[in-house]
Amino acid sequence: MKRIHSLLLLPATFVALSLASCKKDDLDRDGLSLIDGLPYYHYTDDDRLWLQAKQGDEWRLENGRGQQRVYRIDVIEHIRKGDYSYSGGIPGSSQLLAYYDYTTVRANRVDTLGTGIRGYFDLRFYRDAAMLTNLSSGGFNKQLSRFYAEGEWYEFVGNTDLISDYYSCRGLKFPIGAALNGPFQQLTVRGRQYHDVITFIGASRGPTCAPVASDYMQELYYSRQAGLVRMVSVAGEVWDRVP
């Protein structure tokens, strides 16, 4: 699991003083407020549109032969989690720098179709200070809050050419920043229309990634509110969400 601990780059006192000059109402509206003088990067209503999955939900997808793959959802949510710095691992040396919201949506494969089932995939959503570039090394604006999404899936062909791909060969590249609010694709699956779909296309694995079997997924279609609604394998087999 990887999260950008951005507050390590500047002293907490500087951050608190900078944020204190802003109106609290403005900060709250943009996903940033203060708790005892420390920044709290928190979810907004728009963010929560990505967090509709509930504990125990099932995403059931079926191919043209009537076979099904079933993924059961496990939601791990951390609200107002503390972000700490540590000095050389010395006991009692930790310093609270900020608070943030963080959620992992884990889809565990629970069907018994075939052999060699490759476990689960993780989607991670969180709030943090806004990156100034697409790389964490480019620095952060501590007075702005940004919503981030990332993921990894072992059954996905994946990519190796993604700037934000922290998961070599299997990363899922989500839109960045304001693009997480749309525009989205529309997709009709088995008579149900989804208005908020993003697509992951696996490509350019590169020489460092092992070859994959033809039943690995080349395309994934993910609805912001409904979750995984369609996938297409390397062999071209389509799996559609069963309503």
Domain map of the chain by residue range?
A: 6-241
Type and span of the H or E element at 13: helix 12-20
- Rounded CA-CA distance 17/164 in Å is 31
Higher pLDDT, 168 or 39: 39
SS3 for 103?
strand
pLDDT for residue 73 is more than 60:
yes
Phi-psi sector, 31: left (phi>0), alpha (psi -120 to 50), beta: left
Q: What is the pLDDT of residues 2-46, one digit of tens each?
A: 454 444 344 444 444 444 444 444 445 589 999 999 999 999 999
Q: What is the pTM of this model?
A: 0.81
